[in-house]
Amino acid sequence: MPDTPRPSKRRRPTPPAPAPAPAPAPIPPRPHLRADCQNCFALCCAALPFTASADFPVTKPAGTPCKNLRTDHRCGIHDRLRDTGWRGCTVFDCFGAGQQISQITFGGRDWREDPDTRREMFDAFPVMRILHELLWYLTEALAQPAARRLHPDLRATLGQVEELTRADAATLTTADPHPLRARTGELLRQVSELVRAAHTPGRRKNHRGADLMGARLAGTDLRGADLRGAYLIAADLQGCDLRTADLLGSDLRDADLRGADLTGALFLTQAQVNAARGDTTTHIPPALDRPSHWQPPA
């Protein structure tokens, strides 16, 4: 019986390699949304509460000045914060809300010299912080060309937030910023989808809200990953590629970022970077500062 000719296995032509994704838009520096302690009446040290924990050695109620706060609004243990259990102070960032309340809302009136302002100023500060955080994210979103179709909505929301930041103290203390926060959150979700699709074609990892505490992810390609709200506490992220990963609200406390690349990561904040571990081999967006407590490479 003659051999039945086998159907020839034609190799499919190799598809052309996808064009390299365009570089993500540089994140704007936003200096007005960064803490300017020189122009603030130490509101984070007086207005906000904290609880005894790994970040603070004592509990302090809202509206009570910290015992380490000097009368000139400087911290009495500034150079020893991390060594003496006040790590939380080195992580916090007010997004510029402190100077806005101190110099604009209250026109430079110091709560120590003008005690009548104290209660209202301390109540207005947390609201302003939420608003400034929204401005931080919205400004970044507006710098993304891939999300151009959302720019009108982003601008409108930004305008509403900015308008509220200019309100007087009484309006601020009774304002509910949560509808604006919800609106912003939804817009940022859409921006994230568009930007990550544009810059990281193909499958993108979805770890939204995932429990990745202590996860061993060293060297993982996390470009374009959705890490929004993920718990990355003490995760090993050494050498990870996190460009265009969405890090909005992810908990990076003690995450090891040595050798990791976070340039172009979406919605990253100074507080998240401050809370993580890194060194000079960690690549962070130029809009953020390298924490002074990060170690040089071993």
CB of 263 to ligand SF4, least distance (A): 29
- Work out whether 68 is an interface residue with ligand SF4 (CB under 6 A): yes
Cβ count near 22 (within 10 Å): 10
Q: Report the C-alpha gap between 203 and 54 in whole angstroms.
A: 38
- The CB-of-79 to ligand SF4 minimum distance in angstroms stands at 11
Q: Binding of ligand SF4 at residue 45 (CB under 6 A)? A: yes
Least separation in angstroms between residue 60's CB and ligand SF4 is 8
Q: Which stretch binds ligand SF4 (CB under 6 A): 63-71, 236-244, 248-256, 281-289?
A: 63-71
Helices (H), 175-227: 178-199
Closer by beta carbon to ligand SF4, 23 or else 62: 62
Three-state secondary-structure class, residue 86 = coil
**Nearest CB to ligand SF4, comparing residues 36 and 193:** 36
Q: What Å distances lie between residue 159 and 25, 126, 148, 171, 263, CA to CA?
A: 22, 20, 17, 17, 28
The CA distances from residue 53 to 4, 56, 59, 282, in Å, are 77, 5, 8, 28
Beta bridge mates, 261:
241, 283
- The three-state (H, E, C) secondary structure of 68-80, written as one string: CECCCCCECCHHH
Give the nearer residue to ligand SF4 in terms of CB position, either 55 or 193: 55
Question: In angstroms, what is the minimal distance from the CB of 100 to ligand SF4?
Answer: 18
| Count of residues of this chain found to bind ligand SF4 when the rule CB under 6 A is applied | 8
Q: What is the DSSP letter of 37?
A: G
CB nearer to ligand SF4: pick between 49 and 297: 49
Smallest gap from Cβ 89 to ligand SF4, in A, equals: 3
Task: Please state the closest distance from residue 112 (CB atom) to ligand SF4, in A.
Answer: 14
Going by C-alpha positions, the residue among 90, 38, 42, 84 that lies closest to residue 63 is 42
Q: Which of 40, 66, 141, 237 binds ligand SF4 (CB under 6 A)?
A: 66
239-278: contacts with ligand SF4 (CB under 6 A)? none
Min dist CB 282 to ligand SF4, Å, is 24
Residue 178 burial by CB count (10 A; 0-12/13-18/19+): exposed, middle or buried?
exposed
In the three-class reduction of DSSP (H, G, I as helix; E, B as strand; rest coil), residue 197 is classed as: helix
Site for ligand SF4 in 70-129 (CB under 6 A): 75, 77, 86, 89
**Closer Cβ to ligand SF4, 122 or 231, answer by number:** 122
Site residues (CB under 6 A) for ligand SF4?
45, 66, 68-69, 75, 77, 86, 89
